[in-house]
Amino acid sequence: MVPVYPVLSGEIAKRGIKKKDIASSIGACGKALSNKLAGRSEFTWSQVQTICAEFFPDMTPEELFARADDEKGA
């Protein structure tokens, strides 16, 4: 299965960040984060900002949350 957010998923793995830590930072459970990463539910702008600020301050929200199904990236 192709991840909906390939950059985000790749950076989480590359940097060794625990998904439970990301979930906790946005006030969500692990299952809710999993649903968001799979595209079954959406990230709120507040959640995007929190994830960027706490875990990926060197990346913009646009590059980190680029969707695999965005045509401009293809």
Q: Which residue ranges make up each domain of the chain?
A: 6-66
**Of the candidates 10, 2, 18, 27, which has an alpha carbon nearest to the alpha carbon of residue 64?**
10
**pLDDT over 70 percentage in the chain:** 92
Nearest-angstrom CA–CA distance, 1 and 20: 21
In contact, 70 and 10? CB cutoff 8 Å: no
Q: Is the pLDDT of residue 72 over 80?
A: no
pLDDT value of residue 1: 59
Pair 37, 3: CB distance under 8 Å: yes
Tell me which fold the domain 6-66 belongs to. 434 Repressor (Amino-terminal Domain) (1.10.260)
The pTM assigned to this predicted structure is 0.88
- The answer to whether residue 71 scores a pLDDT higher than 70 is no
Q: What is the pLDDT of residue 69?
A: 81
What is the pLDDT, as a whole number, of residue 73? 45
